[in-house]
Amino acid sequence: MLVNILKASLVAGTPLLLATLGELITEKAGNLNLGVEGMMLVGAISGFALGFYFQNPYMALIGASLSGSFAALIYGFLTITLRSNQVVSGLSLTIFGTGLSSFLGTNFVGKKMPVEVINFFKPIEIPLISKIPIIGEVLFNQDIYVYFSYILAVFLGIYLFKTRKGLNLTAIGENPSAADAAGIKIDLYKYIHILIGGALCGLGGAYLSVVQVPTWQENITAGRGWIAIALVIFSKWNPFKSIYGAYLFGGLSIIGFRIQYLNISQNLLNMLPYIVTIVVLVFSSLNKSKEGSPPKSLSLPYFREER
């Protein structure tokens, strides 16, 4: 029972985790990209379309990540090179991505992923460790997308906090002028991380269309991009914390189906994710330490001349 709940939470949390990580590294570079929903949808349709045409799971993954990056490139060009308003650029990316995915998806409505792709994304049991009680079944008997997402979160955590490049990125997000003076190539860093962020959002969207619901339905993300943006704040710009954040929200979204026998009001269950968000925000703002505050230059365009 518990195992089933946790397993389903991981599945429901995976698209959130990928998108959260994507947005997290984007924000670490000092750019607030509100286009997550749009990038997820573009990734979802591209992943679906390529997987469907080539009947090949790798093509689906490549398609999803490249198209996510492409969408992020539009945003990057607007906000880094042209220094336009980040909020507006991000919002228009969401609108653009939603429309584009509907347009590209017209011919795919109701089509189902080929068996080759579905089989590739079936849960794979990892020998030995999947036999550990509870944890083994929950963590190590999942599809490769789930493995990839939590390994990636750990990897990104190490990258951000333990490597020189990661620290450079943090410096750009906190104080771009100082970083610039230290000889860090600001625009290059921003572009690279925004593009990677877009790729992750695209992959998150494609998890829904390629693995979880392997058919194409318009607007398949149903607002998950916005939750991902909130999760970045929830996890205090820390990839390790984003793992619990995403799985917690994934779990909250499905818990109602699993504990119906307890006779808890459905309306109350629907409120849970938002109550948790408020509680966490209250607690995190009570804590006055510097840790967990947003990157200082978030959403501010960087002009070298204005130092």
The contact set with other proteins (CB under 8 A) reads: 4, 8, 11-12, 15, 102, 105-106, 109-112, 208, 212-220, 222, 253-254, 256-258, 260, 263, 265-267, 270
Give the torsion sign (CA, 263, 269, 275, 276). Answer: positive
Q: Which is nearer to other proteins, 6 or 184 (CB)?
A: 6
Min CB(138)–other proteins separation in Å: 14
Min CB(250)–other proteins separation in Å: 9
Q: Which is nearer to other proteins, 15 or 239 (CB)?
A: 15
Min CB(95)–other proteins separation in Å: 12
Min CB(271)–other proteins separation in Å: 10
Per residue, what are the HEC states of 202-268? HHHHHHHHHHHCCEECCCCCCCHHHHHHHHHHHCCCCHHHHHHHHHHHHHHHHHHHHCHHHCCCHHH
Quick check: 42 and 209 in contact, CB under 8 A?
no
Min CB(214)–other proteins separation in Å: 7
Min CB(17)–other proteins separation in Å: 14
Q: Which is nearer to other proteins, 222 or 279 (CB)?
A: 222
Query: 3-state DSSP: the chain helix, strand, coil percent, rounded to 5?
Result: 75, 5, 20
Q: Which is nearer to other proteins, 11 or 66 (CB)?
A: 11
Find the farthest-apart pair of alpha carbons in the chain and give their distance in angstroms, rounded. Answer: 63
Q: Give the integer Cα–Cα distance in Å for 32 and 135.
A: 35
Q: Which is nearer to other proteins, 205 or 239 (CB)?
A: 205
Residue tagged 């909250």 (tokens):
252
Q: Which is nearer to other proteins, 85 or 219 (CB)?
A: 219
Q: Give the integer Cα–Cα distance in Å for 208 and 18.
A: 11
Quick check: 169 and 28 in contact, CB under 8 A?
yes
Quick check: 228 and 32 in contact, CB under 8 A?
no
- E-strand ranges in the chain read 124-125, 141-142
Min CB(15)–other proteins separation in Å: 8
**Angle at alpha carbon of residue 13, lines to 12 and 16, rounded to 5°:** 115
Q: Which is nearer to other proteins, 236 or 258 (CB)?
A: 258
Min CB(97)–other proteins separation in Å: 14
Q: Which is nearer to other proteins, 55 or 102 (CB)?
A: 102
